[in-house]
Amino acid sequence: MPDVVQVGPFLLKMQWLVGIGSLLVGYLVIRYRLKVAGPNAAGYRDERVIQTIENSALLALVVWKFSVAIFDPASIWANPMALLYYTGGAQGVWLAAVAALIYFYLRARRERVSVWVYGELVAVGLLAATAIYHLISLFWYHQGVQSDVLQIVTALTILLLAFFRSGKEVGDALNLDQAVLWFSLAQVGIAFLDPRRPRYWRGFSREQVLYIGLSALTLGIEWAAERRRLGRNV
């Protein structure tokens, strides 16, 4: 398959198209999660929840696409048309994630829906998208086979055990926290399979450092929740 597809005057990377297709699958899995959640999730089947997720995805896409103007303003100043062809790259992904999280928080307060509900649904969608993306990569590029297989196994295992086991309610904070913890630790380990990863700190890449920080944050949340639980039982 070609790495680039021409659509009119635009050249689109196949990697982008595969990513968008994977996210669409993730969106369908989100809707399925709500459908099978059972009577305890009846309050979360409102279309407003789905609309919030759709709007956040659009916001994240726009931020990622145009964040190149923040990270490389000199190139955009020299050639404004570059905005149509360039993206914010990996840095743009993290900025888009922050923008989406802020949007979720504001919408959760406005709609009086637990922020953990949005957190779980997004996690479900991203895990499904991750599995699909690496499945396509596995049969397309035939490179990094070990990494792709581990990504697929990790995503599907967490997806099935953490979110689709019988009796699991939508928006269980501890459940989501543990899922994020295990996914983050897996990402740190899987990254070591890439010998070309850029070193950022003590042999770790920038992404590994971010995932380590996320793991520490989830452990802190669990510790704080346990202390509150013990305090109430005293």
The total number of structural domains in the chain stands at: 1
- Please give the residue range of the domain that contains residue 128: 4-171
Residue 193 domain flag: no
Q: Is residue 81 part of a domain?
A: yes
Is residue 187 a part of any domain in this protein? Answer: no
pLDDT at 140 (0 to 100): 80
- Average pLDDT of span 143-148: 84
CB 205 within 8 A of CB 197: yes
CA distance 21 to 126: 12
Contacts of 78 (CB under 8 A, 6+ apart): none
Residue 98 in any domain: the answer is yes
In a domain, 142, yes or no: yes
Is residue 87 situated within a structural domain?
yes
* pLDDT tens-place string over residues 25-64: 999 998 888 877 654 444 455 677 888 888 988 998 889 8
In a domain? residue 74 = yes
Residue type for position 224: A
Please tell me the distance from the alpha carbon of residue 213 to that of residue 202, in angstroms, as a whole number: 14
The pTM assigned to this predicted structure is: 0.82
Does residue 71 form part of some domain?
yes
Give the whole-angstrom CA distance, residue 231 versus residue 215: 24
- Which of 38-42, 50-54, 72-76, 227-231 is least confident? 38-42
